[in-house]
Copies of this chain bind each other. A is one copy, B any other.
Amino acid sequence: MILVKQSVLRLFQYRDFLIRSKKLGKESIFSDDFAENLGTTSIQVRKDFSIFGLSGNKRAGYKVDELLKQLNDVLKKDEKQKVIIVGAGNIGKALMKYDGFREGGLEIVALFDNDSKAQNEKAKPPVLALEQLYGFINENKIELGVIAVPYHSAQQVLDIMILAGIKGVMNFAPIALKAPKNFYINDMNLKIELESIAYFVKSLKKKRT
């Protein structure tokens, strides 16, 4: 399959907008509506749909229900997916409480932390010891993980996760991690993202001088 990463990300955004529109009682919708809402163009929207074989009605746009069904199919939004978070510090805990994931069909089933003070087997979701990481992933057939540990232990943690059977991670450690080719890593380097905003803002100012 062709890797059309940007398109896929937008499809997820279209899906969210579609769900919100449906809640507002809309029954049909146009490529312009998506464009307007997401800050892109209707051409981009239709091209994305075209790539994935999503179709509407010429002149009458897209039926909300129908498109949503097609989108769910393309995006494989079938059953819930279990996710674990490694690192129960500030970011790990914030993500645990983040509602967005649940809405997206992503269930956080456990956190893991070194620090015994953070651990709590009875909590929902439980916060377990790092020693249990390998076994938990293996037994529960977890495929998705979030890395929210300090940068010096991130690679170590990832290695365990890969060995245990995880297939993709979202990484908040501010460092590039090494993984095999068929493993999917999404780096969320908050430090660099914010630094780059500062940079681009400064550049914009210079421009106007």
Contacts and interface: CB of A to CB of B under 8 A. Distances in A.
Interface of A: 1, 5, 8-9, 12-13, 16, 37-39, 75-76, 81, 83, 90-91, 93-95, 97-98, 100-101, 103-106, 143-144, 146, 167-170, 174-178, 182, 184, 186, 188-208
Contacts of A197: 144, 168-170, 184, 186
Contact of A198 (B168, B206, B207): B168
Given A104-B191, A199-B75, A37 B176 contact: yes
Given A1-B207, A93-B94, A182-B204, A100 B174 contact: yes
Contacts of A91: 94, 98
B94 A90 contact: yes
A174 to B, nearest CB: 5
Nearest to A195: B104
The main secondary structure of chain A at its interface with chain B is: helix
A47 to B, nearest CB: 18
Given A106-B198, A169-B197, 17 more contacts: A1-B203, A12-B195, A13-B189, A13-B192, A39-B178, A90-B95, A93-B94, A94-B94, A100-B174, A101-B194, A104-B194, A105-B195, A106-B191, A106-B194, A168-B204, A170-B193, A186-B197
Q: List the number of copies, as a whole number.
A: 2
A15 to B, nearest CB: 9
B176 A186 contact: no
A38 B176 contact: yes
6 contacts: A1-B206, A9-B196, A13-B192, A76-B202, A100-B190, A146-B194
Q: Give the 9 A-B residue pairs with the shortest CB-CB distance, closest first.
A: A100-B191, A94-B94, A90-B94, A168-B201, A167-B201, A168-B197, A38-B176, A12-B192, A90-B97
B169 A184 contact: no
A197 B144 CA distance: 8
Contacts of A194: 83, 101, 104, 106, 144, 146, 170, 186
